Homo-oligomer: A and B are copies of this chain.
């Protein structure tokens, strides 16, 4: 058994059986080993940003680590942006990056690059296997690292000769170390804080994934009289009918200052301290009111459900939730006439099946569409967590691989989708049940807004840099070129028809919504 085979067997023995791949020559023995193990599902992405984004989406929906297979330095570079998004989503991802044979690295060959350097710029854990006999152990350590602390980016760099030389026996990854908990004193202090007037409990991470944990947080809030809050961006959250109502932060720092104005004590459980997405001249980086007591009870790397359980224990019997603690089911009527974003949202809400996974990277188009969906059938909601656009389509790929029995709905801006449009081909290749809606406004609309904030009056260079016109993109052609059936709609009625068809069919569809 060579090192590559020992790694594939180690991954399979450790429960990693999906590999989003874009291989090159230095990974050839690993490819051969994958070929000998059909129980590893290898999914080709025609660009590496598709692999890392898919691994992110896969982890968010399955809580399981997938592997990516990446070519040395530049191939990893192409995966970098969506590894950044995955890192901010706290997704566990295991990258296997090829490398030149150890003895070849002393020479200057075209693909020689700083494999460690680029990995360390984004990964929580990086290791280069020193020899073939270590590869199985290193692989198991990498799996463990990816699963640790609620999910990490782990990168194993595999010099070619460690893949082809004789390896050791496969190793099964050890479970990750137990997650940390706040001390009993910290729990008591948090409960006391929540009982003060003007207290809020902000939850994120695992507190938003499943109903039992979210319910616990909601009941703690009711018991203590605190306001239950959630951040604007969450890696995964339940939405629609039956989901728990929470006060959500907004994107803009000014709005968040207003939302948080009355909060005197903010207890964070799995949530990061609210922070402006960017700094702006004369605006604060932190939106909370001056003097707010911020209690960072448990960060995202800690045991969030157990922290909430410990708080519940400290409180005593918790009240049940009132019926209005949850969103009702209220489906809007199917709209007609001219197409608007709100009508698109209404149609989606009317037709989207229970338990759809929604991936939203529609940026400025997203909010009007999301509004009517608040009372749609219950669904999961995933957004781009690191602000690096180009995550939407790949995340949808990963979510669909993780949840083959659920419909995936991918809402994307046209600018965002252009970064990783190759994911459309993977949707077609794998027959993934994804309906992608491209909101085609032919511009980076959010940048026009940001420029206005700066006080500039746009002229020629801004138009040249912000607007995707002259020519406009033909998204129907782009989708069909990748093998995905597509249609452009001009009216609400046409959208109703196209979306109904997409919901009834299995497999990838794309609908272009001009806006």
Taking beta carbons and an 8 Å cutoff, which residues of A are in contact with B?
A: 21, 23-26, 28-29, 31-32, 34-38, 40, 42-44, 46-47, 49, 69, 71, 73-75, 77-78, 80-85, 88, 100-101, 103-104, 107-111, 113-114, 117-118, 120-122, 160-161, 164, 233, 272-273, 275-279, 281, 285-286, 385-388, 390, 415, 418-419, 421-422, 425, 428-429, 446-447, 450-451, 453-454, 456, 458-462, 464-466, 468, 470-483
Contact = CB atoms under 8 A, between A and B. Distances in A.
Given A24-B447, A81-B78, A465 B31 contact: yes
A418 to B, nearest CB: 4
A453 B28 CA distance: 9
Contacts of A418: 46-47, 422, 425
Contacts of A49: 78
Contact of A117 (B25, B47, B121, B387): B121
Given A35-B456, A77-B80, A482-B473, A121 B114 contact: yes
B465 A38 contact: no
B85 A42 contact: no
A281 B164 contact: yes
Contact of A32 (B38, B77, B385, B456): B456
Contacts of A285: 101, 103-104, 107
A42 B279 CA distance: 25
Nearest to A165: B281
Given A34-B465, A74-B80, A477-B481, A28 B273 contact: no
Contacts of A462: 31-32, 34-35
A277 to B, nearest CB: 6
Nearest to A428: B471
Contacts of A80: 74, 77-78, 80, 118
Nearest to A116: B121
A471 B507 CA distance: 13
A56 B43 CA distance: 32
A46 B460 contact: no
Contact of A81 (B77, B109, B460): B77
B446 A25 contact: yes
A47 B38 CA distance: 35
A134 B84 CA distance: 30
A196 to B, nearest CB: 25
A83 to B, nearest CB: 8
A398 to B, nearest CB: 17
Contact of A474 (B160, B275, B454, B480): B480
Given A117-B121, A386-B74, A447 B477 contact: no
A473 B29 CA distance: 27
Given A31-B462, A454-B29, A471-B483, A111 B447 contact: no
Given A279-B161, A428-B471, A451 B32 contact: yes
A278 B160 contact: yes
A442 to B, nearest CB: 12
A81 B80 CA distance: 10
A468 B477 CA distance: 18
Nearest to A4: B454
Which 10 A-B residue pairings sit nearest by Cβ, starting from the closest? A77-B80, A471-B483, A74-B388, A477-B481, A478-B481, A117-B121, A74-B81, A101-B279, A32-B456, A104-B279
A483 B478 contact: no
Contact of A37 (B23, B120, B461, B478): B461
